[in-house]
Amino acid sequence: IRHSEGRLKRAQRLLQKPALGVEDLMVLTRDRAGNGDNICVYPVAPSYVETSGAVIMRPATREFWAVWGHPDSNEYERFIVN
């Protein structure tokens, strides 16, 4: 939980902008610049917890973007829900 709380605080700092777009949120999910509180996490002993994907949704337009695996090394794919 300690690491999750650190990532939450980092995300809140990174999101302090007047207007955010989909690209801004993608950049957030790819964050590796934290000092132990990166948003995009790679496995490290002893827990080997890692980011396994991310989703960004825009309900008003019925769009969402998803990425499988680490967001910083994979591309998002856009979907429209009918």
User: Model's pTM, two decimal places?
Assistant: 0.87
Report whether pLDDT(2) > 80.
Answer: no
CA distance 56 to 61: 12
The pLDDT of residue 34 is above 90 = no
Q: Is the predicted pLDDT of residue 1 greater than 70, yes or no?
A: no
Provide the domain limits for residue 64. Answer: 2-80
Alpha helices in 1-82 (DSSP H): 2-14, 22-29
Task: For residue 31, give Cα distances in angstroms to 8, 49, 80.
Answer: 12, 16, 26
Number of domains in the chain: 1
Task: Report residue 8: phi and psi, to 5°.
Answer: -60, -45
- Quote the pLDDT of residue 4: 86
